[in-house]
Structure 1
C-alpha cells in the first residue's frame, strides 16, 4: 500500500510539473474560474499594508493639453523621419509607410511592420528607413495562415468554451527580414573610394567583429577599396526580386580595422560596413517600396515629390489617445505587500479586453503596464516598479519638432528620493554622438522620454518623463537616467484595450 501511495504521489507530482512547464489553455481557464473569489479578496489586504501608496494629485487640464500637443509633435517628427532626405525614390516606385510593430522573439533579424494597406505589397519588396536600406518583406502573415488541425480533445474544449478559438493572423502586418540576417544579401557599390574609383560588392549578414555591429562584405570587386559610402545597386535583381527598387539608398560606410580572433596572437585586417542605423533597437518608422504606378516621372520631379511627401507625412499623424481604444479605469488597490515593488490592482480584466502588456495612462503620461490579468481584474506594474522595461525615444526639449533619438530599452531600478532611476545600456550602432552634437548645451541634452514602437499594446508617443542625457557614454557600461515629471497614479486613469472599433474590420483583430 505504501508503494502504491508513493507511485500515486510521484504520478501527481510529474503531472503538476508538466502543467508548470507549459500552461494548458483549458486548465488555465478552469483554474481561473475556481480561484476567482481568492483573486477578488486577496487585494483587499493590500489596502491595510504599511506599504500601500497614496493617490497623486490630478494633473491640471492645461498641462494635459500641452503634453498632448507635444506627443503629436513627436509623432509627426517620427513619421517624417521615415522619408529620405538625400536619397530619391525612383520613378514608378510607391512608398508605403509602416510602423515597427514588434520584434520576433526567436528571430533577432526580423521585425513586424504594421502598414495601413498591404494590398500592393509583395514578397521581397525592399524596406528603407530614411535614406537607409534595412531589409525586405519576407512574409505576409494573413496571406499565409498557419494550418489549424485541432485534435478531438481541443475541438470538444472549444465547443464547451474552455479553449480559445484559433487566432487569426493579423491583417496589414508584414514580416521584414533585416539585412543583418546571416542569409540576407543585397548588391551594392562604392561610387568613390579613397582613390576616387568605384567598387561593386555584395553586403549582408554581420562581420566577425566582437561587437557584431558591422555588416559583412562579400566578393568586393577590388580588394584595394577600404573606405567610402556604400549604396544599393542591383541592375540584375535576383529572380522574382525587387532589390532594384531601392537603387541608390545607403547601406553604410565601408570601414577597415585590425581584428584579432580569440586565442590568436596576430591581427588581421577586416573590412565591413558600418550602418547608419541601430538595427537592434533603432527602427520605429519605415517605408516599404512597391512597384506601383507613380504619379510623377523624371529625376527632378521624383525628387520634388519625395520632398513633398516627407513634409506632408506629419499631416497623417493621429494623437496617441485617438489611435486606439482606451477604457476608463479606477484602482481597486494601490500598493504591494513587498516593500520593493510598486504595483496596483485594477477592476478591469480580460473580459473587458485588457491583456498583459497594455499601457495604463494618465493623460498622455505612462503610469504603468499590465503585468498580468484574469477574469476579475488585472495587476499593473507602475513605472517605478524595479524591473519595469520599456522602449523609448528621446526628444530634445529645446526642439520638439526635430527627429528624436532612439534609445532602445531602458529598465527601472526603482524610486530614489523624488526621481525614478532607469538603467540604459546603449546598443552598438547608437546614433547618440551625432544626435547629441546637434542639441547639446554645456555637458548634456535635456530631453523628454517617450515610448517607442515595438511593445505589445503600448503605443508610441506616451510620456515617461524628463531627464538629461550625457554627452559622453562610458564604453560597454550602463548609463543611469533620473526621470522627473513621470506618470502620476491618480484616480482618473485609462487602460489600452486594443484597436478602435471602426478599425477592427480593416485590421482584423485589435492586436494593438
Structure 2
C-alpha cells in the first residue's frame, strides 16, 4: 500500500498519460459503486436548500440576464452618423478560428442580408470584415484588422479639411516598453502626408467605389496615431483588445425593405446544454491547488474548458476530462483563465469589456486574487491616479464551453493603464467552496451529449 501511495504522489507531480488512462479504467467500477450508493449519502447529508439560498439564486439569475442584455446593447454604435444608412446585425463571438488568432468565428442573430466582405465593428470601433458565411453550421468567419495580410484604408484628420492624411492600416506593430509585456498596436503604412501623432485614425477608403461595402465602414475608429522608434515608424494605438476583448460584435449590411429585427438569442442557462453533476471530492489534496472531481465525463458530453455553474454563478472550468468523470479548476485555482466583462455597481451601468483575468490564488482573508491584462485603459501621465470602480464581473464569450453572462464576483477595477505590467485585483463574493453551493451543472458539447437539461 505504501508503494502504491508513493507511485500516486509521483504521478501527481509528473503525469504520464498512458498510466493515468490505465488507472482511470481500473477505478471505473468504483464510480458505479458511488452512483449506486448515492441515496445512502442523503441520510445525514447536506440539508435541503434554505429559502435564502433559493432567493439568492433567483437574484443572481436576474442579474445575469440583465448584464447579458446590456452587453448586447453596448456593442451598438453610439454616434448618429455611424447608424445612418446601415443595418446592424448583432453577433456573439464563439471562438477563435483554427487558422489563428487573427480570425474569429461568430454566431449572428440572423443570416438575412449577410455577405462576404461586409465590415464588422464593436461599438464605434472597427474590427474586420466577413470572409465566410456558413449558414448550414450557423457560423460566420471574420478576419481581424490585426492579420498581417489585412489592409484597410484610413484617414487622419490633421485639423484642417485640406490637409487630411490618407494611410493604410493592417497587421501588428510591437512596441517595447521599459518593463512589462510589449504593447501590441496596429501597423500604419504609406501615409500620404506628414502625420501628426495623437490624432484619431478612422476608416476611410480613398477609392470607395471599388468596394460595394467600404462605405459601411467609413468613420469607424481604429485608434490613435503614435510614433514608433523612428521618424517613419507610425503605429495606431487600438481602442479594442483584439486578442481577449471581443465578445459581441456587429456586422454592417445595407438596409433593405421588409427586413425584420431578429429576436435576441436564448440566455445560456436556457439552451439545454447542461448536465447535472455531483462532487466526488471535497477539494484538492495539494495545498497549492483548488480543484474538485465531478461525476460527469466524456460519455456525458463534457469537454475541457467547459463552465461549471451553480445557478447563474460560475464555479469553475473543467481542467481535465475522463470517460466518466472530470476535474474542475475552481475560481481560486492558480492559473485559471477567464474572459470577463465588468458592470459598475453604482452610476452608469454600461458594461465595460475587461478582457483576460488569470487567477493567482486566494488571499489570507479569503478574497480571490487575479492578474488583469489591461489593454485599452488611458495612461495617467503626471496627473492624479483615478480611483478604481467597483464592478460586478460576468463572463465574456469567445472561448469554447464558457458562455457569456455568468456571474463571477465583485472587484474594484483600476481605471488607468498599467503600461504592460498588468493589474492585481481582488475578487470578492465569488464561489470558491463547493460544499456551500447548491446543485452543480456542467456545460456540455452540443453534438455529443445523451442527456440535456438546464439549471
TM-score past 0.5 threshold: yes
- In the alignment, the residues of structure 2 paired with residue 272 and residue 441 of structure 1 have an alpha-carbon distance, to the nearest angstrom, of 26
Quote the residue 1:174 is aligned against: 140
- In the alignment, the residues of structure 1 paired with residue 231 and residue 265 of structure 2 have an alpha-carbon distance, to the nearest angstrom, of 50
Structure that is richer in helix per residue = 1
> Superposed, which structure 2 residues align to 1:270-349 within 5 Å?
270-291=233-254, 293-294=256-257, 316=264, 318-349=266-297
1:38 to 2:1 alignment: no
How many angstroms does 1:75 deviate by?
A: 0.9
- In the alignment, the residues of structure 2 paired with residue 473 and residue 482 of structure 1 have an alpha-carbon distance, to the nearest angstrom, of 17
How many angstroms does 1:406 deviate by?
A: 1.8
How many angstroms does 1:195 deviate by?
A: 4.1
> Superposed, which structure 2 residues align to 1:192-271 within 5 Å?
192-196=157-161, 197-207=163-173, 209-210=175-176, 211-223=182-194, 225-226=196-197, 228-234=199-205, 236-237=207-208, 242-253=213-224, 255-257=225-227, 259-260=228-229, 267-268=230-231, 270-271=233-234
1:458 to 2:402 alignment: yes
Aligned residues: 411
Instruction: Call closer, same or farther: CA 1:226–1:340 in 2, change over 3 Å.
Output: closer
Determine which structure has more spread, i.e. the larger CA radius of gyration: 1
Q: Tell me if structure 2 keeps the 8 A contact 1:206–1:216.
A: yes
Return 5+ residue gaps in structure 1 as ranges.
Answer: 1-19, 46-53, 144-170, 261-266, 297-304, 502-509
Return 5+ residue gaps in structure 2 as ranges.
Answer: 1-14, 35-44, 177-181
The TM-score with structure 2 as length reference comes to 0.78
Deviations 1:286-337 (A, max 9, x none): 11123452569xxxxxxxx9xxx8xxx9x83643422442222221222223
The TM-score with structure 1 as length reference comes to 0.70
- In the alignment, the residues of structure 1 paired with residue 417 and residue 235 of structure 2 have an alpha-carbon distance, to the nearest angstrom, of 24
- In the alignment, the residues of structure 1 paired with residue 128 and residue 152 of structure 2 have an alpha-carbon distance, to the nearest angstrom, of 9
Q: Tell me if structure 2 keeps the 8 A contact 1:94–1:294.
A: no
How many angstroms does 1:459 deviate by?
A: 0.8
How many angstroms does 1:462 deviate by?
A: 1.0
Instruction: Call closer, same or farther: CA 1:408–1:134 in 2, change over 3 Å.
Output: same
Please give the root-mean-square deviation of Cα atoms over the aligned residues, in Å: 3.8
| SS, match of residue 233 in structure 2 | strand
Quote the residue 1:264 is aligned against: none
> Superposed, which structure 2 residues align to 1:340-379 within 5 Å?
340-379=288-327
- In the alignment, the residues of structure 2 paired with residue 441 and residue 206 of structure 1 have an alpha-carbon distance, to the nearest angstrom, of 30
- In the alignment, the residues of structure 2 paired with residue 479 and residue 449 of structure 1 have an alpha-carbon distance, to the nearest angstrom, of 15
